[in-house]
Structure 1
Amino acid sequence: MTVQDVLDLIRDKGIKMVDFRIVDVPGRQHHVTVPATHVDEETLRRGLPFDGSSIQGFRGIEESDMVMRPDLDTAFVDPFTKVPTLNLMCDVYEPSGIRYDRDPRFIAQKAEAYLERTGVADRAYFGPELEFFVFDDVRFDTGQNGAFYAVDSEEGIWNSGKSGEANLGYKIRNKSGYFPVAPSDTQQDLRSEIVLALEEAGLPVERHHHEVATAGQAEINFRFDTLTKTADHVLLYKYIVRNVARKYGKVATFMPKPLFGDNGSGMHVHQSLFRGEVPLFYQEGAYASLSETALQYIAGILYHAPAILAFSNASTNSYKRLVPGFEAPVNLVFSQGNRSAAIRVPVAGVTPKAARIEFRTPDSTSNPYLAFAAMLMAGLDGIQKRMDPKALGYGPLDKNIYELSPAEKEGIRSVPGSYSEALAALEADHEFLLAGDVFSEDFIHNWIELKKTSEVEQVAIRPHPYEFYLYFDL
């Protein structure tokens, strides 16, 4: 969109407020709102000043002046505000006018530019599948002398014996929530309303359904796009999901493992490369119709997976999902149509343009700009170094890996067992991210320290409720 297109949209839609948004380093959005009467051509071109020291992972107070400039192609009318409001995603700049190196959106854009410079391809497509829970109630607290959390859902199997009000049954059993119809599935209308809001905001949706877990686990799939645009769409998706759930008096969470004893929520990421209109991942008659380029890309992701997970599974809670027994993709191998492998190659209805790989390990605690950029850089490293996934021991392995014996599993690498391990892997293996100045040493060091000090160490030093069960009487 041009500046005039946005000004026309403000006039035609009767917009009263314009919301300017940025994303911080961990992946949360922040916004400032300006009356539409004060938004003119200069505002849309030059942007707005803001305090970078108040944004997590950005600047200290001694150098806090920064500027956000809107990407006009991201404009959409907010469906949740009473006052007509236009939302715009922004890029972050230094006061001097140069891009800010720690802006996650800039890193995603640099990854796309680097892809073109390599000559390998000119477009990378990403199609994430975000899973989430919609609960009826959530409570949590932590203090000096106590800590707890509790979530509830009318669908939760733990409510099958609930009394005090009419209990109409049809609770969803653990691991039995895939595709049930009403009345077991209580959230059909909620998900449909999310779909309508997404499409109204310009994001095409392919399907929605209840997911495997009890208690309102859901998935809504939107159409793939290029790297930065898809990361923009992930933030838009999460914003709309959360606010439609709130409208229904419920709460949505993308936390990977909010429930013990049932499947967690992932963000499976489909990926492919194109040069012009030519798909680069397809080869007729080959294993899973994969080209040599696709195999090398797979090898790059699996080789660098422990480091990638520092961005793609960016929470201590992520590694409570990545445990055997809950369809968790913990095995660093690839396979066609096999959901027990970290990389699945979809084979149903494959055409040259639909040929792709699916990295199943990531989850939605990631900052999508950083996670997608890290995946692309790893894949490109595999292509440039002509890595062979077979020679490296990454498969293909066309078996249910969960049912292999310990002897059969020997030699299969697994994902890190904790976020501390993933951050250590990133510290040891990040040269591939520095290519083309996509990531910087400063950014990676800042990320590791931020995550260690504000998350990993804070979780580690607090007593856990289960520790009382294990140790209180010793």
Structure 2
Amino acid sequence: MSASDMLKTIKDDDVEYVDIRFTDPRGKLQHVTVMADQVDEDFIESGFMFDGSSIAGWKTIDKSDMKLMLDPESVYIDPFYAEKTMAVHCTVYEPDTMERYERDPRGTARNAEEYLKASGVGDTAYMGPEAEFFIFDNVRYQVGMNKVSYEVDAIDAAWNTDTEFEMGNMGHRPGIKGGYFPVNPVDDAQDLRSEMLSTMKRIGMKVDKHHHEVASCQHELGLIFSTLTKQADELQKYKYIIQNVAHAYGKSATFMPKPIAGDNGTGMHVNMSIWKDGKPTFAGDKYADLSDNALYYIGGILKHAKALNAFTNPSTNSYKRLIPGFEAPVLRAYSASNRSGCIRIPWAESPKAKRVEARFPDPSANPYLAFSALLMAGIDGIKNKIHPGEAMDKDLYDLPAEELAGIPTVCASLREAMEELEKDCEFLLAGDVFTMDQIEGYMDLKWDEIYAYEHCPHPIEFKMYYSC
């Protein structure tokens, strides 16, 4: 959609408001709403000024003026507002130089796509995320100086098999690690997920399926792959729609990686491929029908995996998922079909479908930054011909201890990820895709989270140590 198409849609569809949206460094959508009659060609060309000092990790108050530049290709009619509202994603610019603001995640994604073209490696990066989520009926938490607690509950949760409900307990529910793929009434969220997927389709998103996931209360909808920046936009819409449809049903959806103990956490596998001149570059005659460039791409991701964790697994909660025993891909190895390593090469019928799947990311990630960092690691692998070594075509979860000890792992904590990013960030700076100022600002936000987490007593510490 061009600017003129956008204006025509506003007129033809009697749009009342335009919701201007952008993404902050942590990955949360932000918005401001303007009357549609204020949006004309000059508005789209000139952009919308806002206060950047009010966004955590961005401008100081003495240099706070920033500009949102609307992207007409990203528009859609918001399905949740009572008044007809067109939503549009924006990239953030410096108003005095009209250069992209270096800490804007969407600008980073666009930088990454431009760098790919300039590198000669390819001209198009495709991303296909598989973001899981949990749905609960009741969520309560508190963090105070004398009380730290949380409680989540859901009628269909595995722990409610003997709960007395006012309407009775029907008894049909998935057990722990038993949610993949029973039909209703065991899976009671069919209609909810269908409405989520249908809502996505109605606003123009490319979707294909939905299902219950392995853990109790865990679900996934299928997004069809797209180019890097566009797919990051789509993932922001994906989260927005899931949370708002759940809210309309009186339920709460979360993309927190590990909201419950003792069951699988939530991941976001990311399928990736690079094309050049309309042809796939990852198909070849090497292992699993991959090309040399695909293997080098894998090598780059495995080499930089711990630094990547800072963007692909950016919450302290992420590392409660990245532990052995819950289908968590913590080992830096690759294989065809095998789901126990960090990188999997899915089976594909044609060269066009040949891709690489990173299995360690989770949906707490800012998609613009996570996709960009993965691409930069892969390009670094290709440019420096970093071979990933031999594939691991065995169940890594069942390896003997002595063999397991020889396989490197991803980070075990957000603290470790920040320390690794500080040591290994040069590959992100190539082509000015990321900048040191951006990385340092991002790390400052994450260190605040780490300190808050590490300085707060945990209930399990009372269980283990109170009577010591």
SS at match of 2:316: coil
Number of residue-to-residue matches in the alignment: 466
| Aligned equivalent of 2:182 | 180
User: What CA deviation, in whole Å up to 9, does each residue of 1:384-418 have, x standing for no partner?
Assistant: 1111111xxxx300111011110121320011110
**Match status 1:416 vs 2:411:** yes
Distance 2:41 2:116 in 1: 33
Q: CA deviation at 1:164?
A: 4.5
Find the aligned partners of 1:346 and 1:4 in 2 and give their Cα distance: 41
The match for 2:214 is 212
CA displacement at 1:197 relative to structure 2: 0.8
Partner of 2:43, secondary structure, is helix
**Paired position in structure 1 for 2:20:** 20
Q: Which amino acid aligns with 1:326?
A: F
SS in structure 1 of the partner of residue 406 of structure 2: coil
Amino acid at match of 2:232: A
Kindly indicate whether residue 332 of structure 2 is the aligned counterpart of residue 332 of structure 1. yes
How far apart, in 1, do the equivalents of 2:43 and 2:311 lie?
Answer: 33
Which aligned pairs between 1:244-323 and structure 2 lie closer than 5 A?
244-284=245-285, 286-323=286-323
Tell me which residue corresponds to 1:235: 236
Matched, 1:463 2:443: no
Question: What is the CA–CA distance in structure 1 between the aligned matches of 2:401 and 2:15, rounded to whole Å?
Answer: 62
Q: What letter matches 1:188 in structure 2? A: Q
Separation in 1 of the partners of 2:436 and 2:342? 28
Matches within 5 A, 1:35-46: 35-46=35-46
Question: Shift of residue 279 of structure 1?
Answer: 0.6
Match of 2:401 in 1: 406
Residue equivalent to 2:106: 105
Describe the SS at the equivalent of 2:341. coil
Amino acid of the structure 2 residue aligned with 1:25:
P
Q: Distance in 2 between matches of 1:412 and 1:164?
A: 48
Residue in structure 1 matching 2:430, options 429, 435, 447: 435
Report deviation, 1:56: 1.5
CA distance in 2, matches of 1:164, 1:253: 24
> In structure 1, how many angstroms separate the alpha carbons of the residues matched to 2:325 and 2:14?
53
Q: Return the letter of the residue paired with 2:377.
A: A
Task: Name the counterpart of 1:145.
Answer: 146
In the other structure, the counterpart of 2:192 is: 190
AA in 1 matched with 2:204:
G
Q: 1:245 is aligned with what amino acid?
A: A
Answering whether residue 351 of structure 2 is matched by residue 352 of structure 1, we say: yes
Contact 2:344 2:356 in 1 (8 A): yes
| Residue in 1 that maps onto 2:369 | 370
Q: Secondary structure at the match of 2:331?
A: coil
Mapped partners of 1:12, 1:218: distance in 2: 37
Q: CA deviation at 1:202?
A: 1.2
Alignment partner of 2:132: what SS? strand
Task: Give the secondary structure class of the aligned counterpart of 1:58.
Answer: coil
Point out 4+ residue stretches in structure 1 off by more than 2 angstroms: none
Gaps of 5+ in 1: none
Per-residue CA deviation, residues 31-70 of structure 1 (Å, 9 max, x unaligned), is 1101112222111211111110001111011111111110
What residue in structure 1 maps to residue 444 of structure 2?
Answer: 449
* Aligned-partner Cα distance in 1 for 2:142–2:455: 16
The residue type equivalent to 1:375 in the other structure is L
**Residue identity matched to 2:388:** P
Distance 1:151 1:398, change over 3 A: same
Secondary structure of the residue that 1:332 maps to in structure 2?
A: strand
Aligned AA for 2:368? Answer: Y
SS state of the match for residue 138, structure 1?
strand
Shift of 1:422: 0.6
Q: Does 1:58 align with 2:58?
A: yes
> 1:472 corresponds to which residue?
466
Q: Deviations over 1:113-152 (max 9, x none)?
A: 0100111101110000000011111111110110111111
Offset, 1:159: 0.4
What SS does structure 2 have at the residue aligned with 1:235? helix
When structure 1 is superposed on structure 2, of 95-104 and 245-254 the one drifting more is: 95-104
Aligned-pair CA distance for 1:350: 2.7
Distance (Å, rounded) in 2 between the aligned partners of 1:156 and 1:465 = 22
- Which digits, 9 at most, give the CA deviation of each residue in 1:305-325, with x for residues without a partner? 000010000000000000000
- Partner of 2:162 in structure 1? 161
Q: CA deviation at 1:98?
A: 2.1
Q: CA deviation at 1:293?
A: 0.6
The 1-side partners of 2:425 and 2:213 are apart by 35
**2-structure distance, mates of 1:39, 1:106:** 23
Q: How far does the alpha carbon of each residue in 1:178-230 deviate from its partner, in whole angstroms, 9 at most, with x for none?
A: 0110001111011111111111111111111000001x211111110111011
1:115 and 1:403 map into 2 onto residues whose CA distance is 38
User: Counterpart of 2:86?
Assistant: 86
One-letter amino acid of the structure 1 residue matched with residue 284 of structure 2: Q
Q: Distance in 1 between matches of 2:157 and 2:413?
A: 28
TM-score, normalised relative to structure 2: 0.98
Residues 58, 441 of structure 2: 8 Å contact kept: no
Distance 1:380 1:2 in 2: 31
Q: Distance in 1 between matches of 2:360 and 2:145?
A: 35
Is 197-206 or 457-466 further displaced after alignment?
Answer: 197-206
- What residue identity is the alignment partner of 2:143? T
2:21/2:32 contact within 8 Å kept? yes
Q: Secondary structure at the match of 2:330?
A: coil
Query: How big is the shift at 1:425?
Result: 0.4
Q: Secondary structure at the match of 1:181?
A: coil
Whole-Å Cα distance in 2 between the matches of residues 414 and 316 of structure 1?
Answer: 17
Please give the alpha-carbon distance, in whole angstroms, between the structure 2 residues aligned to 1:363 and 1:467: 27
Measure, in 2, the Cα distance between the counterparts of 1:266 and 1:386: 29
